[in-house]
Amino acid sequence: MAAFLRAAKGLGQAARAMGRAMSIAAVPERKVAILGAAGGIGQPLALLMKMNPACTELALYDIANMPGVAADVSHVNTRAQVKAYSGDELKECLSGADVVVIPAGVPRKPGMTRQDLFKVNAGIVKSLVEEIAKTCPTACINMISNPVNSTVPIAAEILKRHNVYDKRKLMGVTTLDVVRAKTFYAERMGLNIGEVDVPVVGGHAGITILPLWSQATPSSEILKDDVEQLTKRTQDGGTEVVQAKAGKGSATLSMAYAGALFADACLRGLNGQKSVIECSYVESTACPGVDYFSTKVRLGANGVEEIYPIGDINEYEKEALDSMVPELNASIETGVKFAAENK
């Protein structure tokens, strides 16, 4: 992110800084589509992607308020060409997309769980992925819409039905959990936040979010109380924001940051950069008995090129892992069942 924010000061400037031999044409053309782009997440995410020099075409789709937001973002003097799409223009928006980011759908209000969003968001995700399957089946899909634990399996079932499912291209965005874990860990331990890494495994809801403090770097002695407190705060990070916003939605700015980080990682992988590693919720065998699971993955020219195992974990983490499995499986099953019953 820091790299692309710096570079976003102007591609011309960046190209000059890299020497005259390096021309803008050396950056491959990449189209990013954002579905739900006029929403709380969609707007700042659109701005961040407009600032990313790896994005050359930014296609913004929403069912409401799209022209104004797109006109606004389009005035930012960076390379990406911005186009607005609404209503029946989804196909045009998706045509030729390399990365499709989906933050379309309703957010939580206080007292709701992410699973309570299923009824509305499952149908929205289904209709959007149906069009992706027809129009840009090889694009990397970054699923943000909640409940991610179910919307990713829904998307997979729809893509399978269209015979275009490639498990390397479908990714649930769990980056915000990692962003939060890093922030809370650095704060608590007094570490330099820029140097901190904390893998977060599992899914993206409550106890299915499992930060692995035993693998955090730089390593630090964490007292038992801290482990429980930091784990709970990371698991409840979304709820903390929902309560603070008191009925006005859920995390949007930190999510846009996290979504931009993950989309940027996908673009860097597609563009051939080596060792692009992020956590993501994907079809996986990392946790036996669970079909979709988030661990660190390596992103490359074909999307998810490698899924890393959970790795060594301590007793506390093993117990937490065991206790998340039934909830994660129930959410996956709900998504698969919805797709089967809604053809």
Ligand X SMILES: O=C([O-])CC(=O)C(=O)O
Give Cα 60 distance to the centre of its chain: 17
Q: 3-class DSSP state for residue 104?
A: coil
Q: Could you tell me which of 260, 275, 264 has the C-alpha nearest to residue 30?
A: 264
- Minimal distance, residue 119 CB to ligand X, in Å: 15
Does residue 144 belong to the site contacting ligand NAI (CB under 6 A)? yes
Q: Is 42 annotated as a binding residue?
A: yes
Among the listed residues 148, 198, 263, 286, the single contact to ligand NAI using CB under 6 A: 148
- Minimal distance, residue 204 CB to ligand NAI, in Å: 5
Nearer Cβ to ligand NAI, position 39 or 206?
Answer: 39
Contact track, ligand X, 208-247, x by CB under 6 A = -----------------------------xxx-xx-----
Q: Is 172 annotated as a binding residue?
A: no
Contact track, ligand NAI, 91-130, x by CB under 6 A = ------------xxxxxx--------x---x--x--xx--
| Residue from 30, 83, 126, 204 carrying the catalytic annotation | 204
Using alpha carbons only, how large is the chain's radius of gyration in Å? 19
Q: Is 255 annotated as a binding residue?
A: yes
Q: Is 259 annotated as a binding residue?
A: no
With CB under 6 A as the rule, give the number of residues binding ligand NAI.
Answer: 34
Does residue 42 belong to the site contacting ligand NAI (CB under 6 A)? yes
Q: Cα separations (Å) of 10 from 32, 138, 209, 292? A: 19, 30, 38, 39
Nearer Cβ to ligand NAI, position 38 or 321?
Answer: 38
DSSP 186-253: HHHHT--GGG-B--EEE-SSGGGEEE-GGG-BS-----HHHHHHHHHHHHTHHHHHHHHHTTS-S--H
Q: Which residues of 68-104 are buried (b: 16+ CB within 10 A; e: fewer)?
A: ebbeebbeeebbbebbbbbeeebeebbeebbbbbbbb
Which of these ranges, 60-68, 209-217, 229-237, 299-307, lies near ligand NAI under the rule CB under 6 A? 60-68
As given in the structure block, the two tokens for residue 240 are 């903390």
Among the listed residues 7, 27, 41, 155, the single contact to ligand NAI using CB under 6 A: 41
Catalytic residues: 204
